[in-house]
Amino acid sequence: MGAFMSPFNPLAALRLAGPLGPMLVQTIRSDFKQKYASLFDDNTVSDYIYHLNAQHPSGEAAFKSMTVPYGWARRPMLQRIEQVQADIPISFIYGSRSSIDSDSGYAVKRTRPDVEIKVIRGAGHYVFADQPNDFNQTVLQILARAEDEQ
């Protein structure tokens, strides 16, 4: 099924829906409205998601060209990480509830012990949105560490 669908951009249906697109996002991803109910009491988030994806699909096309069917990387960084200069600090930030596991980060850490891995509790894949305060603090800590090392 994945090979059959690979020529198609998954969000093309959203663009084809035209003016019904915002309602489609609200229906299919009602979890967005619930997740951000404390910040917005209207359809701001689903409208934002719609407008991000209803435009010319440059990000979607880039993602498609960088991956093989099923979303796996065409040229995984894990196979090329040794090409990154040793004096360039590397940090990984993961959400504890993300569908993306931290195995790759720990694999890099085995080859470069100075690699920093941060897991933010209660966050999913979109760490910056799920736990914005913890995410911002973590980024500031990483930047301070990088600045101290220079």
pLDDT in tens, 26-78: 888 888 888 888 888 898 888 888 887 777 767 767 777 777 776 677 778 88
Domain ranges of the chain: 2-73, 83-148
Place of tokens 């967005």: 32
**Are the C-beta atoms of 104 and 78 separated by less than 8 Å?**
yes
- pTM value is 0.65
